[in-house]
Structure 1
Amino acid sequence: MDATRLREAMMSVTRQARRHRPAHALTLSQMTILGDLDRHGTATIAELADRSQVRVQSLTLSMNRLDELGFITRTTDPSDRRRQLIDLSDTGRKVLAGDRVTRDAWLASAMAELTDTERGVLMLAVPVLGKLADF
């Protein structure tokens, strides 16, 4: 089935990309939080949980660790003092950028082994994969 073959191929590439992450000792959940904050900006814990499709309680340990490391900042929401607004700190932004640079370098190196036609096919698939990611 086409869907199975595509899923398996995407998962294999994803696993390889994860193997080529820098040794910063952050979990996938913690990196996901940093990436979400980078893409969407300031958020509440509830918004982060919703976008990650997890419960707020599931993010508590990750959020505390990211805060301890200085990778996020927490401020009180001026419109509702019971809520906290979470943002990416400069340190968190640097860690995230370093992670992306390392994984991009791995991918560029792997792509260099492909033929021009194979690289062209991959680049044609990028917008289509983006559409799939939005479902």
Structure 2
Amino acid sequence: MTDLTSMFTDLVRLETRLYNVIDARLKAEHNLPLGQFEFLRFLDQHGVARVYDMAHWAAITVGATSKAVDRLEASGRCRRTANPDDRRSSLVTMTPEGKRILAEAAPTVEAELQNWVGSVLPAATLEQLGAMLSMLRQRVEVDPCTDRAEA
């Protein structure tokens, strides 16, 4: 029987080490922390988002997300505008500078992932792993209305 606790520890340590390696390289080569890269990717995929949407996607607090958006905005990589449908929130969009830095940094992230993951596992195994991780992530995603895992 699989030791789920050991598997969980391996998964967490792998994520931490991969995150740190990629974060360090992005900072060194692009002056872009990995967290900002991830939010830029989210904005690139969604076009416009509320801070709340970004926080829910990243599974972090709205306060932490708002601070991250503050840093992105200060660096000229995104812009906040008033939300015409909700005065309590603003809408976040990527600027041309954000699009430029994302385009420059994406190959760096892909190269690191290829080095540490893609070069180790065969393509079929990567496909399976991707599908399994997606399934597990969906299982533990939090329903914002109840703050409980969706069944």
What CA distance in whole angstroms lies between the structure 1 residues aligned with 2:49 and 2:9?
35
2:32 to 26, 31, 44: 26
The CA RMSD over aligned residues, in Å, is 2.8
Structure 1 residues 65, 6: CA separation in 2 closer, same or farther (over 3 Å shift)? closer
Kindly indicate whether the alpha-carbon contact (under 8 Å) linking 1:34 and 1:88 is maintained by their aligned counterparts in 2: yes
| Number of equivalent positions | 132
Kindly indicate whether the alpha-carbon contact (under 8 Å) linking 2:23 and 2:33 is maintained by their aligned counterparts in 1: no
* Amino acid paired to 1:126: G
What CA distance in whole angstroms lies between the structure 2 residues aligned with 1:102 and 1:50?
26
Kindly indicate whether the alpha-carbon contact (under 8 Å) linking 2:36 and 2:72 is maintained by their aligned counterparts in 1: yes
Kindly indicate whether the alpha-carbon contact (under 8 Å) linking 1:72 and 1:89 is maintained by their aligned counterparts in 2: yes
Overall identity of the aligned pairs, in %: 26
Shift of 1:102: 0.5
Structure 1 residues 6, 90: CA separation in 2 closer, same or farther (over 3 Å shift)? same
Query: Is 1:129 paired with 2:133?
Result: yes
* Amino acid paired to 1:119: P
* Amino acid paired to 2:91: L
Kindly indicate whether the alpha-carbon contact (under 8 Å) linking 1:72 and 1:92 is maintained by their aligned counterparts in 2: yes
1:4 to 2, 9, 18: 9
Shift of 1:109: 4.1
Structure 1 residues 56, 129: CA separation in 2 closer, same or farther (over 3 Å shift)? closer
How high is the TM-score relative to the length of structure 1? 0.72
Deviations 1:60-91 (A, max 9, x none): 43322222222112222222345321111222
Shift of 1:101: 0.8
Taking CA–CA contacts closer than 8 Å with sequence separation of 6 or more, which of the two structures ends up with the larger relative contact order? 1
What CA distance in whole angstroms lies between the structure 1 residues aligned with 2:119 and 2:39?
32
Unaligned runs of 5+ in 1: none
